[in-house]
Amino acid sequence: MSEPTHKITFPRLTEKNYGSWVGDERAELQRLGVWHIVKGTIIAPAGNDTEELRKWLIDSGKAAGSIFASLDPSQKVHVKGMEENPVSMWQALEKIHRQKKPGARFAAYNHLFSIQKLPEESLTTLIGRVDDAITLIQDLRPAAHTLSDLDGELASMAMIRALPDEYQSFRSSLFLLPQLDKSTVTEAFILEEQDRAERAAKELQASLALKAAQEAAAKATADVAPRDSTLITP
């Protein structure tokens, strides 16, 4: 009798749920007894023992198959050409979804502070979603991230989130910065304010010049226009 078709018991990986997926898939790989192959602590046997090699290849195939089966179709492109290498697959997905850049951390913070209880959601489920969001933030931090760094990023986030819609372009440009610490964001804010003040002054000057030109043109037209006269018969 053939083995039953493997069924995924948790949501497949999409662009938005890596934080929860990675824990679910790790648990699945542990259940299958192949997590240490994916982790890299068990590597292919170097000797001539064909039975050991055969067993390792089977386990490696199980790991790769489990990872691939747990991906949403939109995510399979990230592991194209790696389908038989579970270590490379795992690392590639981590690299895509856990880019330890300031912009990625800001997005994770923004997601955390945007969480709200859904109408039919239990409080325990809500707690789970918050825990998943916190886990993602922790995973996105560099190894040397300090409490002072965290304070600075939270201050920067508060500053950026406070910007109204008219600052959308400026807000987007901030995420291209190599750092989002408070001093860098503060400097960017000051430069943006100066730039806006200069643009406003130039626009006012241009507006006044246009108004003056229009008034001069109107006066010149009035001066050359024929005047209405009434003939008086003696």
pLDDT at 225: 58
Lookup: tokens for 155: 């201050």
Please tell me the pTM assigned to this model.
0.53
Gyration radius of the chain's alpha carbons:
32
Lookup: tokens for 161: 């989130």
Q: Are 25 and 70 in contact (CB under 8 A)?
A: yes
* DSSP conformation class of 167: G
What is the residue type of 165? D
Residue 169 burial (10 A CB sphere; 0-12, 13-18, 19+): exposed
DSSP 3-state assignment of 125? helix
Lookup: tokens for 212: 């003056």
Could you list the mean pLDDT of each consecutive 10-residue stretch along the chain, which spans 234 residues?
61 85 91 94 85 93 96 94 95 84 81 90 92 83 84 90 92 85 92 91 82 76 61 49
DSSP 3-state assignment of 119? coil
Q: Are 52 and 83 in contact (CB under 8 A)?
A: no
Report which secondary-structure segment, H or E, holds 192: helix 182-224
Residue whose entry in the numeric block shows the structure tokens 């969001």: 133
For 43-101, what is the HEC assignment? CCCCCCCHHHHHHHHHHHHHHHHHHHHCECHHHHHHHCCCCCCHHHHHHHHHHHHCCCC
Q: How far apart, in whole angstroms, are the C-alpha atoms of residue 149 and residue 155?
A: 10
Q: How far apart, in whole angstroms, are the C-alpha atoms of residue 40 and residue 86?
A: 9
